Amino acid sequence: MSDRYQGFTQTPIGKLLVKNLSLPAPMKLERYVDGAPLVDGTVLVGGRGRLAESLPGLLDTLGIASAEAAGDGERFKGLVFDATGITTSADLVALRDFFTPVMRSLESCPRVVVLGTPPELLEGPERVAQRALEGFTRSLGKEIGRGGTVQLVYVAEGAEGAATSTLGFLLSPKSAYVSGQVVRIGAHGTTDAPEVTDWTRPLTGKVALVTGASRGIGEQIARVLHRDGATVVGVDVPQAASELQSLMKELDGDWLTLDITGKDAPQRIAHHLKEKHGGVDVVVHNAGITRDKKLANMDEPRWESVIAVNLTAPELITRELIDQGVVNKGGSIVGVASIAGIAGNVGQTNYAASKAGVIGFVDSLADELTDGITINAVAPGFIITQMTAAVPFATREVGQRLNAMSQGGLPVDVAETIAWYANPASTAVNGNVVRVCGQMMLGA
């Protein structure tokens, strides 16, 4: 499913119209290809904070080349600025001093990461200054252009060594459609991370459960987790059994067909994982449905079915897996929320309630889980799938253009974000909700 408008803007007449009418000009985004280097170029690092000295070493671990000064005519694929040393509002000028001289030295599809300290862990002027970083990064994300992304990563004191997996994700094409986001590392207790021997296959030996795995976003989640070394157990409804089995056979995985809203579904899933795999390391609650109607016309079945599939089932399944000890130590639980759960959407009061509930689900469990188990969520924006292909043309076009990248995302963009959460080295990344939306211009 190609973006016809994006293709049109690359034609001679399209380029002319874009220039003269100031139309959106979506750039083809770079996405990760298995076997390619994480970053094809050099990352410039700067700042004077807690992470400044260790940044080159962290990047070197990932095979990312870095520089600490900009030479004449040198170009960069990424910028990382340690702002943890900014303690007053007057210190914020350091952002301008670092970024302004090098913004025109960036390659296409550049990645920018600002590192700070979680404001909630600070007081007084330092808390004020660190909170200001959010406005800076979100604004820069909307003006960087050329397929670039900008993120803010708050690193709690003591969690400096746990930032490697997050830097690898945010500086690479794996985060192509993630921008303007705030990530917290070590804000919910855990501040360390285990060593990863193979960063190209960090999930080797791990078992990953993916619901709604037969097609669309779920299929891509299964493929990316398999690429990273996991044994995937796909779950879907009996009606999708043929597609599910075909995919799992291709990925050398396992499958289970059932309705996740069934009374015995949590017990059946727990039993299957325990008996056949000895437990599970990654749980991805991807299955979801829509039953859209304005609230004035919303009947009870539409409301109840959406809440049951999108929210109640993930809650019950997670509780059963935790209570039975099926989730292994250091495991990762990921919920798939939606931008609708953050900004709302006409005709989707049921869907938006369920997806906001997924965010609440993450909030409620982030401090409750033990044994290094984490819980996070992704909130996709306009992702191009068979479902969105059925949306009326005008609505679809508007939905794709109202973000900083002027285009829709792909299912793999959601999958890559989930794979970052699932990486064992992301154990200090807990309680986060990251939007995969190209940085929506309005409402979020």
pLDDT tens sequence across 73-110: 899 999 999 999 999 999 999 999 999 999 999 999 99
Is residue 167 a part of any domain in this protein? Answer: yes
From 185, 220, 236, give the residue that closes a domain.
185
What is the DSSP annotation of 87-130?
A: -SGGGGHHHHHHHGGGGGGEEEEEEEEEEE--GGG--HHHHHHH
Give the residue-averaged pLDDT of 310-314.
98
Q: Domain for residue 42, yes or no?
A: yes
| Model confidence pLDDT, tens digit, residues 402-423 | 899 999 999 999 999 999 999 9
In this structure, the answer to whether residues 256 and 127 fall within a common structural domain is no
> Is 389 inside a domain boundary?
yes
Say if residue 444's pLDDT is above 70. no
Task: Looking at the structure, tell me whether residues 377 and 429 fall in a common domain.
Answer: yes
Tell me which residue of 412, 424, 381, 443 sits closest to 174, measured CA to CA: 412
Q: How confident is the model at residue 397 (pLDDT cuts 50, 70, 90)?
A: confident
User: What is the rounded CA–CA span in Å between residue 391 and residue 382?
Assistant: 11
Rounded distance between C-alpha atoms, residue 242 and residue 163, angstroms: 41
State the average pLDDT over residues 390-403: 74
- pLDDT band (50, 70, 90) for residue 4: confident
Which neighbouring-strand residues pair with 153?
A: 115, 183
Say if 234 falls within a structural domain. Answer: yes
Is 147 in the same domain as 37? yes
Q: Identify the domain containing residue 119 by its residue range.
A: 31-185
Judged against a pLDDT cut of 70, whether residue 1 lies above it is answered with no
| Domain CATH code at residue 86 | 3.40.50.720
Kindly state whether residues 150 and 48 are assigned to the same domain.
Answer: yes
Q: Are residues 109 and 250 in the same domain?
A: no
Residue 389 pLDDT class (50, 70, 90 cuts): low
pLDDT at res. 424:
96
Average pLDDT over residues 174-193: 93
Q: Let me know whether 180 and 212 are in one domain.
A: no
Which residue type is seen at 342? I
Which positions ≥6 away from 335 have C-beta within 8 Å? 285, 314, 358, 359, 361, 362, 375, 376, 377, 378
Q: List the one residue out of 74, 139, 82, 141 whose CA is nearest residue 102.
A: 74
What's the pLDDT score for residue 18?
66
Instruction: Tell which wins on pLDDT, 208 or 192.
Output: 208
* 127: its two tokens: 């808390």
Q: Nearest Cα to 355, choosing from 418, 386, 309?
A: 309
Task: Report the percentage of the chain scoring pLDDT > 90.
Answer: 84
Mean pLDDT, the chain, integer:
93
pLDDT at 38: 95
Q: Which residue has the higher pLDDT, 327 or 399?
A: 327
Q: Is residue 256 located within the same domain as residue 286?
A: yes
d(CA 116, CA 50) in angstroms, rounded, equals 9
Residue 107's CB is within 10 A of a number of other CB atoms, namely 17
β-bridge mates for residue 151, sequence order: 113, 181
**Per-residue confidence band for 391, with pLDDT thresholds at 50, 70 and 90:** low
Please identify, among 150, 185, 220, the residue that sits at the C-terminal boundary of a domain: 185
pLDDT of 360 > 70? The answer is: yes
Domain count of the chain? 2
pLDDT band at 367 (very low <50, low <70, confident <90, very high): very high
Is 416 within the bounds of a domain?
yes
88 and 161 inside one domain: yes
pLDDT above 80 (res 22): no
Same domain, 181 and 258: no
Residue 21 has pLDDT above 80, yes or no: no
Question: Tokens in use for 107?
Answer: 């390659």
Structure tokens at 277: 């795999």
Same-domain check for residues 148 and 248: no
**232 pLDDT more than 70:** yes
Residues with catalytic function = 351
Give the lowest-confidence range in 265-279, 343-357, 394-408.
394-408
In a domain, 7, yes or no: no
Domain boundary among 152, 185, 218: 185
Instruction: Classify the C-alpha dihedral 82-84-85-90 as positive or negative.
Output: positive
In angstroms, the CA 364 to CA 353 distance is 16
81 and 120 part of one domain: yes
> Which long-range contacts link 134-142 to residues 24+ away (Cβ below 8 Å)?
134/182, 136/92, 136/95, 137/112, 137/180, 137/182, 138/180, 138/439, 140/99, 140/112, 141/179, 141/180, 141/404, 141/439, 142/180, 142/404, 142/439, 142/441
124, part of any domain: yes
Q: Give the mean model confidence (pLDDT) for residues 161-184.
A: 97
d(CA 314, CA 287): 9
The answer to whether residue 170 sits within a structural domain is: yes
Mean pLDDT for 356-368 is: 96
Average of per-residue pLDDT across 259-286: 98
Same domain? For 153 and 267 the reply is: no
